């Protein structure tokens, strides 16, 4: 079968690999119908993720059809159309029982990381019963690819951890795909002002189309000041960090109102300064989270009832044999305007 | 009347001051019967609190008897025995309605800070109806002085924000009065391991008497390692920071388990390093809080039902005319073993 | 001044009464600009509320302008435009501190009940600081009358107690003004199916216009069966009872799914059968609540940010001297199609 | 092997049955070391549980040693000492993912009910990975039998659903084993007054030894009145129903304070009167629940840290070949003083 394989920093290729086999009673083999590329894949290709070894098939998102199942799998049968979660969860360990699938002792984020992933014709899914979700009849499969990772990430790490409430003021720092996923799902809770901050005017245009009530280009260094003006000098109830660098986290520290929350989504590569000399008395909460995908059933219901249209995040479409082009388009998002690219296998 | 007055960094004196007058309809004048000294008073005397101007009568804790009340006061009458909250709350503003009395727009921590305080024979209490609490008949007044500040601080900022649960593992970093207040009130929720960490063996002895299941002297720099050993390499569910310096906050970052909480109580004078490059995916929560004293009614009930004995924090007793000795005893806690000192007015 | 006065069961008249005076430091006198009639006013007129004595000016809803204030009032001044809460709250008692304003020991529902109310040119508001809300500039005053009672009632007793969630299935039994208020505010949380059940097809038409995804006329006794069909035999996550008779509560018992909630809003005059022989193992929650109006600030924000348009509940308008006509229109809602009627004072 | 078999209302016998076999990949066969009898077993023998067919081996509690495991079992191996949960949970279905194991679509309460149970030398446990719990080294196995059902039931249905809080007032109606399990676990949260109500003075003596602060014999019909006196006419924050008949539920309706909770544990055979004509405005919550045993890991921690001593509920011990005597002792609890009887297999 064809697979996109990582060969160390800067190197990748689309090549022929053996179709995966079942290895444990709980495994399923899934034939991929659609997959996509994540910012994390780019991190791997830059060499930022040393736990991902050369030779690995990349990809942790996708939808497909169950091909074969192990003897312990009871929830799925060959032929079932399934959504693949980016997080594999055994459903049994202490973390899984608390809903912290991200820290599953035999799972977590392993697909396209420590085991072969979804940018291929077939993928082996461990713990299939608790890592796959049935695709409802008549669902738009393409849109559901957004539920593998990006929408639960924006929702769980940003919106739920950020405790977004009706009428509240929310700032989302970063209008990339993850920030926009937070923007879409924040609207489940009818916040009042929904401010999106980024350096790229084109992404801010998208944010306005997707529901932002205000957008701020932070390139002049005056974003915090502008938010103060918008909020009568109070700050925001929820600040969602969707970039992952010190400057954007610091901006969130400046934006958050007393009693508010900073919900971090960004993948950080360096420590940040936490200004406790100012914040110790501000009654704030800071949260971090690797997505658990425990809200996938809820998100599927919101898609089904048309409260959420995940396909709005899709900008480009490719075939699997064009995946190197897809990577280029995604890597040069500033010029291509790419948000999420669909790859049809 | 006699009052302990701050005269700029390093200077204080016990002197005669005019008895305070009612200034607003919601004010009450309270005759102090017992007060105490807080670590914050020492901060003021070191010049660390520029918002406290020279000439200020210090003190924000105490019990007393209502002397006179303004025309708007309905909950108290002259002669009522009352507990004074360290936080004045109007009960009307947006923050008060959310239970964030600490950020009351016309109150908060003002006693012995921006208005004259309780280390005197009389004190004026603004917003008396929502800043005083009736002392139940037969209550131990001396113990109740601990409910002005230290016990709600340990409980709200440490235990409640830290979400202490039955069977959970809790570390309290700092065995000073505030850390011990967290230690006493954490036991309301029956945690399993209750680990107290400090540099002072004498304070650790006190911690064991007050309920710590394990104590660790961190002077060898191996506290994190020892906690890892105690917790099968998992870390603690709740890490309570009760010191207020970068090293102790960093220790909490090292101690907290995935899914756990760092509840900050310490008053910080400098920023700290937040290691998001490691913690972004750890599903942790960090909280800060200036005590709101919204749990004072609950704490009064726990004292009444003997679930909490606040007097265990009292080590020394003085008369108001000995208050300069009381300060010396409190300042030299390492040698005197002082935790909280009672001053009888 | 003119006032609508209750004179015992079946008797009311619009008559001249003395303008009210300040009686306590916390009182304000408010000149009414707009008021309305509530189903509870009809209950009083039918003699169902013995705690309301003849001679009482009715009405507990309205907006107006502050005329005079007592010496203890600090949040409002003469000339301020205000929203009057149907619940008076001292903000000081144990219930108020818990956010249970409905059970305030010196307030609660007293307006137009145990003290004179708002269907008059002027009204005395006790505990003005915590029972009035400032009307924002440029707000639609007429719509805000709906925030005195009906919208917080639908929201607090129905939607919040009912824990409505994104994608969830909600049934509202009763499409009168209160049921419709629950319908409007349930949409803050983006439920999936939002089913409204009533006996009156015209009200069901309104429900569809206001956001119901399904409506069921229950006159054939098959509502429960139809909901089972809609929900794949599972039942609803939230059943909101907005009528107040045994049959509708029983219907909610039949509708609720395992793990679901029955949120009662209805004012009941008789006991109901609770089928614990079936429900003891169904992991359900039943809640009751007299509205606390603690969410008024949140609702004001949702109106300001156009997430809620309260004026959609208004069907008729009258002048105060036409209030007897307004009562007739409201009493004969089936034929007049009246939901809420505005009375301009 | 020996097994206690139900043969229709009034009939049971200890007889030889075939040792159970593995039937599904997720099954385990457990050799029972200790089991016990539950009030539900008596209900079955009285014919109150028609879903339990004659020929069934009874029993849903116990500890033992894993004998064999199916190919899908990963968490346990032969030789492991295990606690058997009374609730079997697949860990995969929508209910299990919400922590509602009691409503697992292929599990729930099936042991000793719809499949053979634990009052035997061996038992087959479906969904073993999520229905068994490892017994820690050095744990008291006998005490852990109380964690199969009775302690999670009292804790989840009574204490957690009842939202017991520090300093709060709690009434437990019924001092049988389940009521006493609620009594023991309520103390995790340090309530103030902990009132136990029963008709049997001997059980009330036990309740006082196990931590009740007040006991009331309700045989004179004055229990509600006495609770009113104890609570200054306010009622209790939490009323736990641990009997299951209309009279005791009605007593809870009389006891509960405004804002309080009635947490039902009792297994009811008939409907009850819910006095909504009085309670509609009382801001109360009523909960029902079949135990989910989701707190078993937490309870194991509280046993390990000596916050809970489950063995205090054990009054008698028998061998498996004496199980008919054990039943008699348990059935005649009033004369024998039996709470829980241990049966050694």
A24: closest chain D residue by CA? D72
Which of C189, C192, C298 comes nearest A301 by C-beta? C192
Most D CBs within 10 A among C149, C278, C281, hence the mutation to make, goes to: C281
Q: Which residue of C has its CA nearest to D287?
A: C285
CB contact under 8 A, A280 and B244: yes
Contacts of A192 in chain C (CB under 8 A): 301-302, 304-305, 307
The answer to whether D274 contacts C269, with C-beta atoms less than 8 Å apart, is no
Helix (H) or strand (E) holding B230: helix B223-230
**CB nearest C25 (choices: B25, B91, B92):** B25
Contact residues of A toward C, CB < 8 A: 165-168, 187-193, 213, 298-302, 304-305, 307
> Among partner residues B272, B280, B288, which is closest to A288 by beta-carbon distance?
B280
Low-confidence ranges of chain C (pLDDT < 50): none
A189: nearest CA partner in chain C:
C189
Name the token pair of C49. Answer: 């509320």
Q: Which of B305, B306, B308 to mutate to test the interface with D (most CBs of D within 10 A)?
A: B305
pLDDT tens figures, A166-210 = 999 999 999 999 999 999 999 999 999 999 999 999 999 999 999
pLDDT in tens, D223-270: 999 999 999 999 999 999 999 999 999 999 999 999 999 999 999 999
Q: To the nearest whole percent, how much of chain A has pLDDT over 90?
A: 99
Does residue B321 surpass a pLDDT of 90? Answer: yes
Nearest-CA distance B131 → chain C (Å): 10
Count of residues making up chain C: 345
What average pLDDT does range D283-289 have in this prediction? Answer: 98
- D30-68 in b/e form (b: 16+ CB < 10 A) is bbbbbbbbbbbbeebbeeebeebeeebbbbbbbbbebbb
Mean pLDDT of chain B: 97
Rounded to a whole number, what is the distance in Å from the CA of B219 to chain A's nearest CA?
24
Cα B328 off chain centre by: 20
Total residues belonging to chain B: 345
Q: Do A304 and C192 touch (CB under 8 A)?
A: yes
Contacts of D75 in chain A (CB under 8 A): 92
Query: Which of D26, D94, D96 comes nearest A72 by C-beta?
Result: D26
Compute the Cα dihedral for A138, A143, A148, A154 and give only its sign: negative
**Helix or strand run (H / E) with residue B140:** none
Residue pair D157/D135 in contact by the 8 Å Cβ criterion: no
How far, in Å, CA of D52 to CA of D324, rounded? 19
What are the phi and psi torsion angles at B111 (to 5°)? -60, 130
User: How close D69 comes to chain A (CA, Å)?
Assistant: 12
Residue B79, pLDDT above cutoff 90: yes
pLDDT for A214-246, tens place per residue? Answer: 999 999 999 999 999 999 999 999 999 999 999
Pairing of strands B256-264, B236-241: parallel
How close C287 comes to chain D (CA, Å)?
Answer: 4
When CB atoms are compared, the residue of B249, B274, B289 closest to A283 is: B289
Spell out the residues 6+ positions from residue B221 whose beta carbon is closer than 8 angstroms to its own.
Answer: none
**Separation CA A151–CA A310 (nearest Å):** 8
**pLDDT for D178-228, tens place per residue?**
999 999 999 999 999 999 999 999 999 999 999 999 999 999 999 999 999
Are residues C259 and D292, on separate chains, in Cβ contact within 8 Å?
A: no
Averaged pLDDT for residues B98-126: 98
Contact list, D270 vs chain C (CB under 8 Å): 276-277
Kindly state the average pLDDT of the residues B191-200: 98
Q: What is the residue-wise DSSP string for A36-83?
A: E--HHHHHHHTT--TTS-TT-B----EEEEEEEE-TT--S--TT-EEE
C-alpha distance from C46 to closest chain A C-alpha (Å): 38
Cβ-based interface (< 8 Å): residues of B facing C: 24-26, 70-72, 74-75, 90-92, 94, 96-97, 106, 129-130, 294, 297
Chain A residue numbers touching D294 (CB-CB < 8 A)? 97
pTM value is 0.97
- Dihedral sign from CA coordinates of C240, C243, C244, C245: negative
Contact D308, D155 (CB under 8 A): no
Q: How confident is the model at residue D137 (pLDDT cuts 50, 70, 90)?
A: confident
Confidence at residue A313, expressed as pLDDT on a 0 to 100 scale:
97
Inter-chain residue contact B100 with A264, CB threshold 8 Å: no
**Tokens found for residue D42:** 């008596």
Residues in A closer than 8 angstroms to D96, CB to CB, are 91
Looking at CA atoms only, how far is residue D297 from chain B in angstroms? 9
- Report the number of secondary-structure helices (H) and strands (E) in chain B: 12, 16
> In this predicted structure, what is the pLDDT of residue A188?
98
pLDDT per residue as tens digits for the range D65-89: 999 999 999 999 999 999 999 999 9
In chain A, what residues touch C305 (CB-CB under 8 Å)?
Answer: 167, 191-193, 213
Contacts of A213 in chain C (CB under 8 A): 305
The answer to whether the CB atoms of A92 and D97 lie below 8 A apart is no
Q: Is this complex scored with an ipTM above 0.95?
A: yes
Residue B137 confidence class, pLDDT cut points 50, 70, 90:
confident
Residues on chain A bordering chain D, Cβ-to-Cβ distance under 8 angstroms: 24-26, 70-72, 74-75, 90-92, 94, 96-97, 106, 129-130, 294, 297
Residue D192: its chain B contacts at CB < 8 A?
A: 301-302, 304-305, 307
Taking a C-beta distance cutoff of 8 angstroms, is the pair A106, A330 a contact? no
Measuring CA to CA, how many Å separate D69 from each of A217, D29, D63, D93?
60, 6, 16, 22
Contact A102, A292 (CB under 8 A): yes
Q: Residue D59: which residues within 8 A CB-CB, separation 6 or more?
A: D4, D35, D36, D37, D41, D111, D112, D117, D118, D119, D120, D123
Please report residues of A whose CB lies closer than 8 A to that of C299.
167
Question: Which among A180, A296, A169, A280 has a CA at the least distance from the CA of A235?
Answer: A169
Looking at residue C302, its pLDDT comes to: 97
pLDDT at residue A137 greater than cutoff 90: no
Q: What percent of chain D has pLDDT above 70? A: 100
pLDDT at C137: 87
Nearest to A301 by CA among B343, C193, C276, B201: C193
Query: Which residues of A are less than 8 Å from B283 in CB distance?
Result: 100, 102-103, 288-290, 292
What SS3 string covers A162-218?
CCCCCCCCEEEECCCHHHHHHHHHHHHHCCCCEEEEECCHHHHHHHHHCCCCEEEEH
Query: Is B288 in Cβ contact with A282 (below 8 Å)?
Result: yes
Interface test with B, best of D296, D305, D309 (most B CBs within 10 A): D305
């Amino acid at each position: 079968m064809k697979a996109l394989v990582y060969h160390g920093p800067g190197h990748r290729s689309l090549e022929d690999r053996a179709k995966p086999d079942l290895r444990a009673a709980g495994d399923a083999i899934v034939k991929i119908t659609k997959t996509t590329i994540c910012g994390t894949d780019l991190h791997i290709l830059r060499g930022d993720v040393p736990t991902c070894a050369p030779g690995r098939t990349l990809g942790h998102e996708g939808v497909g059809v169950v091909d074969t199942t192990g003897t312990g799998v009871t929830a799925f049968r060959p032929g079932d159309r399934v959504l693949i979660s980016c997080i594999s969860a055994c459903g049994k360990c202490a973390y899984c029982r608390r809903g912290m699938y991200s820290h599953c002792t035999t799972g977590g984020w392993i697909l396209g990381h420590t085991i072969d992933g979804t940018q291929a014709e077939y993928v082996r899914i461990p713990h299939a019963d608790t890592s796959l979700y049935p695709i409802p009849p008549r669902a738009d499969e393409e849109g559901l690819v957004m539920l593998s990772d990006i929408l639960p990430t924006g929702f769980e790490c940003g919106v739920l951890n950020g405790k977004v409430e009706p009428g509240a003021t929310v700032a989302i720092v970063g209008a990339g795909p993850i920030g926009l996923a937070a923007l879409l799902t924040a609207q489940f809770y009818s916040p009042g002002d929904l401010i999106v901050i980024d350096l790229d005017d084109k992404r801010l245009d998208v944010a306005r189309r997707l529901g932002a009530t205000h957008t701020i280009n932070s390139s002049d260094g005056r974003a915090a000041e502008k938010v103060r003006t918008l909020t009568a000098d109070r700050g925001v109830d929820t600040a969602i960090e969707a970039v992952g660098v010190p400057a954007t986290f610091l901006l969130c520290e400046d934006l958050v109102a007393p009693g508010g929350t900073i919900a971090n989504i960004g993948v950080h590569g360096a420590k940040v300064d936490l200004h406790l000399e100012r914040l110790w008395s501000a009654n704030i909460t800071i949260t971090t989270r690797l997505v658990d995908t425990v809200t996938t059933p809820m998100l599927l219901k919101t898609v089904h009832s048309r409260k959420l249209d995940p396909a709005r995040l899709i900008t480009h479409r490719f075939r699997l044999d064009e995946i190197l082009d897809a990577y280029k388009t995604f890597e040069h998002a500033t010029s291509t305007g790419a948000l999420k690219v669909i790859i049809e296998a």
